[in-house]
Structure formats: structure tokens, C-alpha cells
């Protein structure tokens, strides 16, 4: 398979949702709808570029789901629609669905932005999130956010922001790192350097894993992505 960013993205995404062990109905429904949101978002982003695309749609839907609980009326309807969650009651949505995922969500208002204490509690309890008022005009705000990201991911993510607009009123931040074993696993002695296309014009040699077997394969024409099913997980 030709390696590329878009393909690995879809892999990360599906691995994340399928590997959760305790799947009850609401989680399963949310997982399906999140996957739908992810595919639509990926399609929209990927259709505008020929470069590799890497984005964590799961981190994005978690952050927007945390915001969702603070909204009502047309704003809530639009968020539900955007997230492919139309018809679901935000109060009954589970906070987080994926196992093996180190993930954090933060709701960071400016000092002058009023946020009810019940919403602050909800962010902390339901989403296990971080709530902190910041002074976005001071560089300390950047340091605070990046330190939070490091703590959430065991330092796998070092920096999520480099510059903050001093006029920011509310910042939703989310970080995620995911580590999982391939099943069945790859044989390390078969790993060899192969071409990876960073862009159409830039090629680098990277260690590439190989495995030969028979797999069920599906191709999504609109996503231009191949999906492969194996015994315990889905990858592409
Ligand atoms: C890995 O591949 C090498 C070379 O083909 C082979 O000798 C070895 O037995 C394989 N190891 C496993 C665990 O399959």
C-alpha cells in the first residue's frame, strides 16, 4: 500500500473507536455518528489540498461536545448538525468513548468572560476537563496551555499553541495521544526503508513495516481511502 497521510488518518480514527471494550448502546451510537462527522470533515479538508492531511477529528468532536453542553437554541442545533449528532439529546451523550487514548479537553475563557459554575463543574466531571480563566494578553497564557498539554499526554505533545490572539474570549483546547499494538503484529526484521511522499515534490526515506496476508479490503471513493479489516481492529 502506498503510504500517505490521509490513509493513516482514517486508520487512527477507526482504531480509536473500535478498540473500546465496553460498548453500550449510547456509546455505539455516538461512535457511529462521530465516525460520520470525521468522514465528512476529512472529506471537506482533503478535497482542498493534494498534500498529506493529518487531523484528529476525535479530539475535535470531544472539544465541541464539551462546548455543546453550554449552548441552547439555534447555536445548539447548529453544533449538533455540524457534529452529525442531530436528534440526540446532548445531556445523554457520554463524555468520552475511546480506550487507550490519552486525551484532554480544556475550556479556557478570558478573565472577563463569565462562565456559570455549573458548566465549570460539568466540564470537570463529565469530560474530565480542565477549566481555567486566562489573561490572553500575557505570554503566561501560552505557557499554561502547553504545560497542560504535556501533563495530559505524558509529554508526547509538547506544544499546542505558539501564539494567542490577545482578543480571545474563549479558547477550546484539546490534545490526544494514542498508542496501540497492531494485531496481528508486524515482524520487525521485515521493516525496511521506503519512499514516503511528504508532498508531491518532497520524498523522504522512512522505515516502513511490511506484512503479507489476506485481508478484507474496502475502498471509499469519495474519501479516496482504502480501509482494511483485520481480526481485532480496523486499519487502513
Ligand atoms: C520474521 O521474519 C524473518 C525473516 O523472514 C523470519 O526468519 C522470522 O521467523 C520471522 N519472525 C516471526 C516472529 O515471524
Q: What is the distance in A from the centroid of ligand 1 to the CA of 142?
A: 48
Q: Beta strands of the chain (E only): which ranges? A: 101-109, 130-131, 170-178, 192-197, 203-208, 216-220, 225-229, 234-235
Q: What's residue 173's pLDDT?
A: 92
Separation CA 214–CA 14 (nearest Å): 20
Please give the CATH number for the structural domain made up of 101-179.
3.30.497.10
Q: Please provide the average confidence, as pLDDT, over all residues in the chain.
A: 80
Tell me the pLDDT tens digit for each residue of 157-175: 899 999 999 999 999 998 8
In this predicted structure, the answer to whether residue 214 has a pLDDT above a threshold of 60 is yes
Q: What's this model's pTM, rounded to 2 decimal places?
A: 0.66
> How far away, in angstroms, is 187 Cα from ligand 1 center?
6
Domain ranges of the chain: 1-100+212-236, 101-179
Residue nearest to atom 13 of ligand 1 (CA): 187
Confidence of residue 95 (pLDDT cuts 50, 70, 90): low
pLDDT digits (tens, 9 = 90+) for 136-159: 999 999 999 999 999 998 898 899
The more confidently predicted of residues 23 and 225 is: 225
Amino acid at each position: 500500500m502506498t503510504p500517505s497521510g490521509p490513509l493513516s488518518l482514517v486508520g487512527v480514527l477507526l482504531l480509536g473507536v473500535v478498540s473500546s471494550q465496553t460498548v453500550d448502546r449510547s456509546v455505539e451510537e455516538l461512535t457511529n455518528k462521530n465516525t460520520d462527522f470525521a468522514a465528512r470533515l476529512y472529506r471537506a479538508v482533503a478535497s482542498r489540498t493534494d498534500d498529506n492531511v493529518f487531523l484528529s477529528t476525535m479530539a475535535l468532536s470531544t472539544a465541541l461536545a464539551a462546548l455543546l453542553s453550554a449552548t441552547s437554541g439555534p447555536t445548539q442545533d447548529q453544533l449538533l448538525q455540524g457534529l452529525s449528532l442531530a436528534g440526540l439529546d446532548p445531556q445523554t451523550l457520554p463524555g468520552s468513548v475511546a480506550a487507550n487514548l490519552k486525551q484532554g479537553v480544556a475550556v479556557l475563557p478570558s478573565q472577563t468572560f463569565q462562565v456559570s459554575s455549573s458548566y465549570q463543574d460539568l466540564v470537570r466531571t463529565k469530560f474530565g476537563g480542565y477549566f481555567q480563566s486566562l489573561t490572553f494578553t500575557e505570554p503566561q497564557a501560552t505557557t499554561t496551555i502547553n504545560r497542560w498539554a504535556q501533563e495530559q499526554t505524558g509529554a508526547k505533545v509538547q506544544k499546542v499553541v505558539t501564539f494567542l490572539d490577545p482578543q480571545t474570549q474563549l479558547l477550546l483546547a484539546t490534545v490526544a495521544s494514542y498508542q496501540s499494538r497492531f494485531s496481528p503484529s508486524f515482524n520487525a526484521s521485515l521493516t525496511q526503508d521506503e519512499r514516503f511522499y511528504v508532498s508531491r515534490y518532497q520524498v523522504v526515506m522512512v522505515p516502513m513495516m511490511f506484512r503479507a496476508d489476506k485481508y478484507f479490503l474496502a475502498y471509499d471513493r469519495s474519501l479516496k481511502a482504502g480501509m482494511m479489516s483485520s481480526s481485532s481492529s480496523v486499519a487502513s
